[in-house]
A and B are shown apart, each in its own frame.
Chain A
Amino acid sequence: MVDVAIYLAAGCSGCELSLLDLGDRLADLNFRVIWASPTLGDGKYGRIPEVDIAFVEGGVRLDEQERIVRELRRKSDVLVAFGICAACGGVPGLANLHSKDEILEGVFRKGTTTDNPESIIPQKTVFVDGKYELTLPEFYENVRAVDQIVEVDCYIGGCPPTPGQIEDAVSRIIGGEVGWITTARAVCESCPYELGDGMEGAGRFTKIVSGECFLKKGILCFGPATQGDCGASCPKVNTPCRGCGGPLPAVSDYGAKIVDMLSLLLDEKGVEELGSNYHTIAKLIYLYSMASATIPGRVRKYHVREIE
Chain B
Amino acid sequence: MNIVGFACQWCAYQAADLAGSMKMEYPESIKLIRVPCSGRVETEFILQALLNGADGVFVAGCPVAECHYRMGNRIARKRIAILKRILPEFGIESGRVEFLQVSSADARRFVEFAEEFDRKIKKLGSNPIRRYSDG
Residues of A within 8 A of B (CB): 97, 252-253, 255-257, 259-260, 262-264, 266-268, 271, 274-275, 280-283, 285, 293-295, 297-301, 303-305, 307-308
What string of 1s and 0s marks CB contacts (under 8 Å) between B39-78 and chain A?
A: 0001110011011000000000000000000000001101
- Whether the Cβ atoms of B75 and A259 lie closer than 8 Å is no
A residues less than 8 Å from B48 (CB atoms): 294
| CB of B66 to closest CB in A, whole Å | 17
Given contacts A271-B78, A294-B47, whether A299 and B85 have CB atoms under 8 Å apart is: no
B residues less than 8 Å from A257 (CB atoms): 43-44
B83 close to chain A: CB less than 8 A: yes
CA distance A298 to B128 in the complex (A): 10
B residues less than 8 Å from A301 (CB atoms): 132
Q: Is the contact region of chain A dominated by helix, strand, or loop, or is it mixed?
A: helix
- Which one, A280, A295, A300, contacts B51 given CB within 8 A? A295
- Which one, B47, B83, B89, contacts A298 given CB within 8 A? B89
CA distance A218 to B89 in the complex (A): 24
Chain A residue nearest to B127 in the complex (CB): A299
Chain A residue nearest to B41 in the complex (CB): A260
Chain B residue nearest to A254 in the complex (CB): B44
Q: How many A-B residue pairs have CB under 8 A?
A: 84
B86 close to chain A: CB less than 8 A: yes
CA distance A65 to B131 in the complex (A): 30
| CB of A248 to closest CB in B, whole Å | 13
| CB of A98 to closest CB in B, whole Å | 11
CA distance A252 to B47 in the complex (A): 12
A residues less than 8 Å from B44 (CB atoms): 252-253, 256-257, 294
Chain A residue nearest to B75 in the complex (CB): A263
| CB of A92 to closest CB in B, whole Å | 17
CA distance A274 to B50 in the complex (A): 23
Chain A residue nearest to B45 in the complex (CB): A256
A residues less than 8 Å from B78 (CB atoms): 262-263, 266-268, 271
B79 close to chain A: CB less than 8 A: yes
- Whether the Cβ atoms of B129 and A295 lie closer than 8 Å is yes
CA distance A280 to B90 in the complex (A): 10
CA distance A264 to B42 in the complex (A): 11
- Whether the Cβ atoms of A275 and B85 lie closer than 8 Å is yes
Contact residues of B between 91 and 135, Cβ < 8 Å to A: 91-92, 128-129, 132-133
B81 close to chain A: CB less than 8 A: yes
Chain A residue nearest to B50 in the complex (CB): A295
CA distance A304 to B91 in the complex (A): 12
- Whether the Cβ atoms of B82 and A294 lie closer than 8 Å is no
Kindly list the 7 A-B residue pairs having the minimum CB-CB distance in the complex, ordered from nearest: A263-B79, A256-B43, A282-B89, A294-B47, A256-B44, A299-B91, A263-B78
A residues less than 8 Å from B91 (CB atoms): 298-300
A residues less than 8 Å from B90 (CB atoms): 97, 282, 295, 297-299
A residues less than 8 Å from B81 (CB atoms): 263, 268, 271
Given contacts A97-B89, A259-B43, whether A281 and B82 have CB atoms under 8 Å apart is: yes
CA distance A85 to B40 in the complex (A): 31
Pairs across A and B, CB under 8 Å, 25 listed: A252-B44, A253-B43, A253-B47, A259-B43, A259-B83, A260-B79, A262-B78, A263-B43, A263-B79, A268-B78, A274-B85, A281-B85, A281-B89, A295-B47, A295-B51, A295-B90, A295-B92, A295-B129, A297-B90, A298-B89, A299-B91, A299-B129, A301-B132, A304-B132, A305-B132
